[in-house]
Amino acid sequence: MAKLQQQHSNTAGWAPPSVQKRWLLTLLIMLSVSTLIAFFIKSAFDSCDPPHPHNFDVAASNKPAKVFSNSIKTAPSPLSFMKSKLVLLVSHELSLSGGPLLLMELAFLLRSVGTEVFWITIQKPSETDEVVYSLEQKMLVRGVQVLSAKGQEAIDTAFKADLVVLNTAVAGKWLDAVLKENVPRVLPKVLWWIHEMRGHYFKLDYVKHLPLVGGAMIDSHVTAEYWKNRTQERLRIKMPETYVVHLGNSKELMEVAEDSVAKRVLREHIRESLGVRDEDILFAIINSVSRGKGQDLFLRSFYESLQIIQVKKLKVPSMHAVIVGSDMSAQTKFETELRNYVMQKNIQDRVHFINKTLTVAPYLAAIDVLVQNSQARGECFGRITIEAMAFQLPVLGTAAGGTTEIVVNGTTGLLHSVGKEGVTPLAKNIVKLATHVERRLTMGKRGYERVREMFLEHHMAHRIASVLKEVLRKSKSHPHS
C-alpha cells in the first residue's frame, strides 16, 4: 500500500493518460476492497446524525486521499496566519462519521500552514479498534499530536493552546470532566463547532458553557437559527457569537468530478455492476438508510412516478432508484420494510440497494439525479448535496435544513416538502427530470457552477479563517489569557 501511495503522490493534475489509467485502476481495485480505510481520510459531511460509534455515514465521501493529492497550487492559504499557533482539537469520538472526519480535515488544513495541532478523542472503545487505530496513524503521519483525553498533559495543552475547538455539542462534557475548576480560564478561547439539530442535544449537561465560549461555528443558517431559538426557549441560555460556515468539497473530490475520463470509467463500472444500461436514468439517495433520511418516502415517490409515466404514456428511458447506504445489521426493521415495499409493488428490477460505503464518487459518477430526502428539520448541511453538484447532478431535495441554502429551487434542482405531502411533488419532479433531458443537464451545470462559486475547500478555508481570526482576537483581549 505504501508503494501505491508513493507511486501516485507526485502525479500532476494534468497527468498523462498512462498515469490517469493507473490511478483509475487503483480506484477500481479499491472499490472492491472494503478494508482500505487507512486511505479514506477526506470525508463528506452528513450532519444531523446523532454521533454513534457504529453509525458511520455513507454520505462521507471518502476518497483515497493520496492517490489524488497531486495539486501544485501555490495560492497562499487563508489560514497562513495560524502558522506556529497551537490548536487543541477535541472530538467526541474517532470514527468514520462526518463529524470527526470533518475535524480531521481542519487538522490537516492547519498542519499544512504549520500550526501545532493536538488532538483529543473523548470516547474511545475499550478494546483496540481498527478504525481508531488507522485514523490515529493517519494523523500522526501528518504531524497531528494525539493526546489522551484526561490527565495533566491534556490540561496543560488546553492552557497553552491559542485555540481549543470542541467538535459537536456532546464534546461539551469534556470541559467539566477534565478541566474541572479551570474551565473558566479556557472558555474564552474555545470555538464550538456544532453540527447537530436534534432535540436530545439540548441538555444543559452538554452545553451549559456555551454562553461564555469564544464563539460557535455552525454549518448552516437554519441550524444556527434553530440553536438560537432552542437554547433560549428550552435552556434559558444565550448563544455566544455564532458564525455560519458552509462546508466545501475537498480538492480530491473535485479532481475526480472534473475528470471526464475518470467519471466515464466509474460510470461504466458501476452501471455494469448494477446491470443497467448507459441510457437508463438513475435517481439515487446516498445516505445511511434510516427513516430520518426518507428512503421510504422516496420509494413511494419513485413508484408514483412510474405510474404517472405509464398512465400518461410518456416516452422515457428505463428508470431506476438506487439506495446507497444500506446496512441490514443496523436498521433491520426499516430495511425490511423498504424491501417488502419493493416486492409488494413488484419493482425489484428497478430498485437497487447498495451497502453503505465510504467511496461515493463512483456512485455520483454513475447516477443522473441525486435525491436528498431528509425529513423533519432536514440536514444541518448535507455535504453529499454539494458533492453531487460537483458531478453536475441536479438535486431533488426536501425544502428543509441546509438543503435550502445549497439548492436553488428551479435552477440547480427542485425542492419538495418534507413528510407525506412531499411524496407526490417529488414524484412529479422525478417525472419532470426524466422527461426533460435538457433541463436536467442544465440544472446539473448550474449546480456545478454554484459549487465552483461557493462550495470548494478554499471557500470553506476562507470562512473558517475569518472565524478563527475573530475568536483569537477576542480571546487575546480577555483578562484570563
The two beta strands, 190-194 and 163-167, are parallel
**Is residue 35 a contact residue for ligand NAG (CB under 6 A)?**
no
CB proximity list for 91: less than 8 A, separation 6 or greater: 99, 100, 103, 119, 120, 121, 122, 167, 168, 171
In the region spanning residues 299 to 338, those forming contacts with ligand NAG, defined by CB under 6 A, are 327-329
Number of residues near ligand NAG (by CB under 6 A): 13
* CB of 233 vs ligand NAG, minimal distance in Å: 8
* CB of 301 vs ligand NAG, minimal distance in Å: 15
Other CB atoms within 10 Å distance of the CB of residue 388: 35
CA distance 47 to 49: 5
CB-side exposure of 458: number of CA atoms within 13 Å? 11
* CB of 165 vs ligand NAG, minimal distance in Å: 24
* CB of 239 vs ligand NAG, minimal distance in Å: 12
Nearer Cβ to ligand NAG, position 88 or 400? 400
Query: CA-CA distances (angstroms) from residue 52 to 60, 81, 349, 358, 444?
Result: 14, 34, 33, 16, 33
Nearer Cβ to ligand NAG, position 101 or 222? 222
**Is residue 410 a contact residue for ligand NAG (CB under 6 A)?**
yes
Query: 3-class SS at 208?
Result: coil
Nearer Cβ to ligand NAG, position 12 or 28? 28
* CB of 117 vs ligand NAG, minimal distance in Å: 33
Contact mark string toward ligand NAG, 90..119, x via CB under 6 A: ------------------------------
**Is residue 431 a contact residue for ligand NAG (CB under 6 A)?**
no
List the strands of the sheet with 281-286, edge to edge: 351-355, 319-326, 281-286, 369-372, 395-398, 413-416
In contact, 31 and 269? CB cutoff 8 Å: yes
Nearer Cβ to ligand NAG, position 426 or 471? 426
Contact mark string toward ligand NAG, 343..382, x via CB under 6 A: ------------x---------------------------
Task: Give the CA angle between residues 282, 381, 90 to the nearest 5°.
Answer: 125
CA distance 370 to 220: 20
| DSSP 8-state secondary structure symbol assigned to residue 77 | P
Per DSSP, the chain holds a count of helices (H) and strands (E) of 20, 13
* CB of 276 vs ligand NAG, minimal distance in Å: 16
Nearer Cβ to ligand NAG, position 7 or 435? 435
Nearer Cβ to ligand NAG, position 152 or 329? 329
In the region spanning residues 191 to 250, those forming contacts with ligand NAG, defined by CB under 6 A, are 222, 225-226, 229
* CB of 360 vs ligand NAG, minimal distance in Å: 15
Give me the helix-helix angle, 98-111 and 457-476, nearest 10°: 80
In the region spanning residues 390 to 409, those forming contacts with ligand NAG, defined by CB under 6 A, are 399, 409
Please provide the size of the chain in residues: 481
* CB of 57 vs ligand NAG, minimal distance in Å: 16
Residue position matching grid coordinates 495560524 = 82
* CB of 409 vs ligand NAG, minimal distance in Å: 4
Interface residue with ligand NAG among 82, 101, 299, 415 (CB under 6 A) is 415
What are the b/e assignments for 253-279, b being 16+ CB within 10 Å?
A: bbbbbebeebbebbbebbbeebebeee
* Residue ranges in contact with ligand NAG by CB under 6 A: 222, 225-226, 229, 327-329, 355, 399, 409-410, 414-415
